[in-house]
Amino acid sequence: MPALTTQVGIIGAGPAGLMLAHLLAQRGVESYVLERRSRAHVESRVRAGVLTHSTVEMLCEAGVGERLSREGIVHHGIELRFGGASHRIDFDDLVPGRAITVYGQREVVKDLILARLSDDAAEGQLLFDVSDVELSSAGSAQPVVGFTLAGERRQLVCDWVVGCDGFHGASRHWLPPGSTTAYEHDFPFAWLGVLAAVSPSAAELVYAFHDRGFALHSLRSLEVSRFYLQVPRAEDLTRWSDERIWAELRTRLETVPGWSLKSGPILEKNLAPMRSFVVEPMRHGRLFLAGDAAHIVPATGAKGLNLALADVKLLSRALVDWYEQGRTMLLDGYSDACLRRVWNVQHFSCWMTRLLHTWPSDDAFQRRLQLAQLQHVVTSRAAQTTLAENYVGLDQV
């Protein structure tokens, strides 16, 4: 089969890859998106669920926010729960005009896929079930992405290649050995995620610190709740029956008088180890990285999706500037600009994780220090403002 040619080759049809393709198409820059899984699989994955103010603005400005605006649930605060009491972090008071919107990542992905498939000019340029993706001629002005589709080996000749293939993707490994520095940190626990067909028991997200471990009450809609339990890192999911999950959620969340947790059918449960990761730089020659392919932040701060979209907003501007003006300044500044934001969010997410989780290595003294810090956060306006500013998202781009 003859080689395909395009301007930007994008690996991965998650939020980063799909949004990048959409933003580029809006400025007349052509791309191909190569995704290894099926459309059905990509649209079914339960991932993040909190969009920052900037992300909502970005999606709406890009013309893919109509369903988000209709179905997204705006929250003006979150709750910290510990020591038998609840403490609301009031965004309207602390960061006026900024809120978060609860809208599942898979809904964002569905909206973006629909937008791509509705773009006649991009017909056939979003390819699912692609395998064995590899990059050659990386150092040339025309990198070539090889891949297999429907049993046929194909080639995609590009001007630029962007790895949006997530933490377990291939593209990060295309950066020449010795050209990057990877920063990794594994936390001594994982999150057991639960999706349940039950209406939320709280009006806003509840972050609970408990001696048995962290618990989070979130939601996806007024009919579907989302929960997370801190569990040991090497936990075995088969040890968590539905009954055990509900019992542990009640233990860790029903700690304030008069509040009770509603339960219902569990639709999905999964385990995700808690980690931090950053690779620097996020570019080599004509290859860029964006989103989880370049960085992972602990989910406690609810920032992974927002960071990924912030990366591609910057990269799309840089690529458009190159095509329209022949300028390389934004491309050359992409990695540093992203990494400033990534490390800021990394710090906040790690801080929030340390604040709310129990560490197996902690002794009684350290546990009391943690309670003192929680008490400081909920009694200091300055501390609450810092939390609120980071949670709703500083101006990320």
- Residue 75 or 283: which CB sits closer to ligand PHB? 75
Is residue 106 at the binding interface for ligand PHB, with CB under 6 A as the rule? no
C-beta separation of 68 from 103 below 8 A: yes
Contact range with ligand APR by CB under 6 A, out of 93-101, 164-172, 210-218, 338-346: 164-172
- Residue 205 or 289: which CB sits closer to ligand PHB? 205
Residue with tokens 């500037």: 321
The minimum distance between CB 248 and ligand PHB, in angstroms, equals: 17
Hey, what are 197's tokens? 């067909």
Q: What type of residue sits at position 353?
A: T
Of 37, 58, 278, nearest to 165 (Cα)? 37
Give φ, ψ of 214 to 5 degrees.
Answer: -70, 150
Contact range with ligand APR by CB under 6 A, out of 12-20, 52-60, 120-128, 205-213: 12-20
C-beta separation of 162 from 8 below 8 A: yes
User: Among 8, 10, 35, 213, which residue sits at the site for ligand APR (rule: CB under 6 A)?
Assistant: 35
Is residue 166 at the binding interface for ligand APR, with CB under 6 A as the rule? yes
CA–CA separation, 16 and 68 (whole Å): 17
Hey, what are 370's tokens? 């943690």
- How distant, in Å, are the alpha carbons of 239, 247, 254, 375 from that of 258? 30, 17, 9, 22
- Residue 216 or 339: which CB sits closer to ligand PHB? 216
Is residue 218 at the binding interface for ligand PHB, with CB under 6 A as the rule? yes
Is residue 158 at the binding interface for ligand PHB, with CB under 6 A as the rule? no
Please report, as residue ranges, which positions from 302 to 331 form the binding site for ligand APR (by CB under 6 A). 304-305, 308
The minimum distance between CB 38 and ligand APR, in angstroms, equals: 9
Residue 205 contact, options ligand PHB, ligand APR, none, Cβ 5-8 Å cut-off depending on partner type: ligand PHB
Query: 3-state DSSP call for residue 156?
Result: strand
Hey, what are 15's tokens? 């939020």
The minimum distance between CB 231 and ligand APR, in angstroms, equals: 18
Contact range with ligand PHB by CB under 6 A, out of 45-53, 83-91, 125-133, 136-144: 45-53
Give all strands (DSSP E) within 108-143, no chain letters. Answer: 126-127, 130-136
Is residue 302 at the binding interface for ligand PHB, with CB under 6 A as the rule? yes
